Each structure stands twice: as C-alpha cells, then as structure tokens.
Structure 1
Amino acid sequence: MNMVRTAVPLLLCGSLLTGCSSLPETDWPPCALIGGVGGAGLGAIESSSWAAAGLGLGALTGAAYCWVHGDQDGDGVVNKLDDCRDTPKGTKVDEKGCPLPEPVAVVEEVVVAEPVRVELDVKFDFDKAKVKEESYGDIKALADFMSQYPQTTTDVEGHTDSVGTDAYNQGLSERRANAVRDVLVNQYGLSPDRVNSAGYGESRPVADNATEEGRAINRRVEAEVETRP
C-alpha cells in the first residue's frame, strides 16, 4: 500500500513536469507552482510535517525542469541548447536554435549580343543588280557562318553610287539586296525568315562619289548579323 501511495503522486508529478517542458517561459511560474503542489502532496504522503518542505522542493524542481527541458521560442531546440531563445515563430533554425542564413538568390547574367557587321565584297556593275561570279565566295562564307549558329539572322543592305535620281537609286539598291538574299536562300539553303533585305539608295556612301573608283566601291551590298531573341 505504501508503494502505491508513493508511486501514484510521483507519476502524476512526472507527467505534469513533462507537460511543462513545452510551455513558453511566461508559463513557467504556473509550472513551478504545479511542481510545488506535487511536491507538497508527496511530502504529505510521508507526513504532514513534510508537506511544506515538499512544496518548496517541488517548486524548485518544476522550475528547473522547465528551464532544462523547455522550449521558450518553440523552435524545436530545448533552452539549455538554444543560443537564440527569441527566434520568431516559424523561422528555420540550426542545431543551436539560431536562424539559418537566407539562401542567396543566383541572378543569371543576360548578355545581349550586339549586331555584327559582316564585310561582304559584293560589288555591282553600273546600273546592274546581278551578283557577279567572284562575289559568291563571300556570300557562301556568310551562309556557312549562319549555318553554324542557327539562332542568327541577317539584314542584307543594298547601296548605289550617286549617279541617277534618288528614287531610281532606291529601287536599284533594293534589287541588289534582294539578289544577294536570293543567293543565300535559294543556293545556300538559309531559311527565308532568317534573311531580311533592305535598300538605302545613295544615302550611305563609303567612298567619294566624285571619282569612278569611289563610285565602284559604293555600288555594294553589306550584311549585318545578329542573334535573335
């Protein structure tokens, strides 16, 4: 009978203290009080003279238990191991109860490729838009380059010298650009949507139109290659 009388309060007190371990720090005084009451009850089992001593000892035991096994901020790390006992609720912590470092976002640098001007040695006879045989090598080199880099497109630009009216030279420059485009698409297999053509007439000379040599240089087709998004 004595064993039963002693064991039941002990189990009750142990259960209460275990429950106290999950309480926040603000609730530890009630926890200590519960421990004191349990201690007083245990003392009273022995004799009435032990009740007061049991009350004090139980209170100390309850408070100590809460400190050792309690989790003040509810982060899953008990106080005796927690170096950061005021961690906000829901914060991920390490084994010492301190917040884990925030992951650093990796920002991928986006490089925007600048258009590349390709020097084509495509020249035309006066008032002609027919591609000369000696110009096919440069046109093929451009086609081969673009075939290696399928994401590229090209703008083929036609030009004239200053002889003739602006309107006539505009149309002539467009025909020259289209002639080179046809070679790229029809003979060297580039997709039509990768080759654009435009004419600029006599508006962009690169040599002096006052001389025959300069005018011959200005009767040309150039190309600009860029990477499409």
Structure 2
Amino acid sequence: MSMIRTALPLILVTSVLTGCAGLQKTDWPLCAAGGALSGAAIGAFQSASVAAGFGAAVGVMAGAYCWVHGDGDDDGDGVLNSKDKCPNTPKGTSVDATGCPIVTPAPEPVAAPVVLPKEEIITIRDVHFEFNKATLTPGDKQQLDMVATKLKTEAPNVQLHVSGHTDSVGSDAYNQKLSQKRAQSVTDYLVSAGIPRASFVSVEGDGEARPVADNKTADGRALNRRVEIKINR
C-alpha cells in the first residue's frame, strides 16, 4: 500500500504534465486548475492537509509547464507558433496555412483604348499633280497606297469627303473643273486599292478658293495643287 501511495503521485503528475503539453500557452489557467484537482485527489490518500498542499503544488507546476511548453500564437495571425514560418506578422495581415502573408498578384496592366477623333483631315501634300493635269504619277500612287492602308482599317465605318484644289493660274471656271478631276482621280485610285466606293459620300472640287500657300511663288502654287480627304467617324 505504501508503494502505491508513493508511485501514484508521480504517475498522476506525469499524466497531468503530458496533457498540458498539447495545450496552448494561454491555457495555463486550465492546466493549473487541472493540476490542483489532480494533486488534491492524490493528496487525499494521505491526509486533508497533504491534499491541500499537494494540490497547490501540482497546480502551480502544471500551470508553469503549460506556459513554458504550450504552443501559442504570439503574432495573433491564427497560426500556431510551431507551424508559423513567418513569425511577427503585422496585425491584420492575411496569412496562409504556414503563417506567411498571402501575396496577391498585381493586376495585368490594361492598355488604354485608342480614341480616334470624330473628324480628321488627311492632306495629301505629296500628290501635287503636274501643272494643268489631273493625272497621277507613279510617286503619287505610292503615296496614295499608304493612305489606302490607313483607310482600310476603318472603312466602311467612316464617311469620306474628298476635295480637290488648284493654284491661281487660269480662270476660276477652269480651275473648278480641274480640281474636280483631281478629286475624282484620287477617289478612283483609292477605290481600286480596296476602299469601298460607298465610303465616299462626297467628291468635289474647290478650285483655287482655298489656298494653303502663296500663289505668287512656284513652291506655293505647287502646295496649293493638292487633294484633301476628310474622315467623319
């Protein structure tokens, strides 16, 4: 019987401490209370005074053991210290199962949409025509091919207005007819290059009425012999 009285406290204390090892560090009051009850129960085999003293001693021991060996969550991220690979995470940070901050991938940059003006005027300055003619030269056609490439990306969703212009040499009536022929020559070539004829809502000649340069010089007159294409989207 004396052997049982001696061994039983050791067995029960060991059991209490083993159970506390699996608790949280903050559960030390529970360990202490359980240890006190267990100690008191053991002490009852001896005497009432021994039960009280032994219960208090085991309670203190169990509480201290739980505090030292318990698994806590010091940074409060919801992940136990034993599993927390990123300790001291700032409060409020979203973490994964290992206690490390969840990195949200940056959104892919969105390219700003290209906003085209509702109205645009293409001035074909390199198509100046020869004096007193509406005939397109090989160089003129090369320039118009580039214009056609641009217009193909938008036609037939746009309205095109073509206007022909001349210098001031000659009568107003003659220049009016000549500018009309030049506008028509450009339009016909663009249609042959793949621009729908329905996209051209007007083809007209403005004669010498709208010069862009001084008609008193040869260079100025050459600039005035031009065709403009207005695009309405």
TM-score > 0.5, shorter chain as reference: yes
Structure 1 pair 105/157, CA: closer, same or farther in 2 (3 Å)? farther
Deviation at 1:190, TM superposition (A): 2.6
Deviations 1:10-35 (A, max 9, x none): 499459x53x47xxxxxx3xx22111
CA pair 63-108 structure 1, distance change in 2 beyond 3 A? same
Is 2:37 aligned against 1:34? no
Aligned residue number for residue 142 of structure 1: 144
In structure 1, distance between residues paired with 2:177 and 2:66: 99
**Alignment counterpart, residue 58 of structure 2, candidates 41, 48, 54:** 54
SS of the counterpart of 1:160? coil
Choose the corresponding residue for 1:151, options 142, 150, 153: 153
Q: TM-score, normalised to structure 2's length?
A: 0.57
Bigger radius of gyration among the two: 2
CA contact (8 A) 1:75 1:93 kept: no
Whether the 8 Å CA contact 2:129–2:226 is kept in 1: the answer is yes
Distance 1:144 1:156 in 2: 16
1:28-177 matches, cutoff 5 A: 28=26, 31-47=27-43, 48=51, 49-66=53-70, 68-70=71-73, 72-76=75-79, 78=81, 82-88=86-92, 91-92=94-95, 97=100, 99-100=101-102, 103-107=105-109, 110=112, 119-123=125-129, 126=132, 131-132=134-135, 134-135=136-137, 137-143=139-145, 146-147=148-149, 150-151=152-153, 157-162=163-168, 173=179, 176-177=182-183
**Structure 2 unaligned regions, length at least 5:** 44-50
The normalised TM-score by structure 1 is 0.58
Displacement of 1:39:
1.5
- Give the C-alpha shift of residue 57 in structure 1: 1.2
User: Aligned-pair distance for 1:191?
Assistant: 3.6
Is the partner of 1:34 in helix, strand or coil? Answer: helix
The number of residue pairs the alignment matches comes to 204
Q: 2:195 aligns with which of 190, 193, 197?
A: 190
Partner of 2:37, secondary structure, is: helix
The 2-side partners of 1:57 and 1:158 are apart by 105
Aligned to 1:219, which of 202, 221, 225? Answer: 225
Which residue identity is paired with 2:186?
V
In structure 2, what residue type is equivalent to 1:78?
N
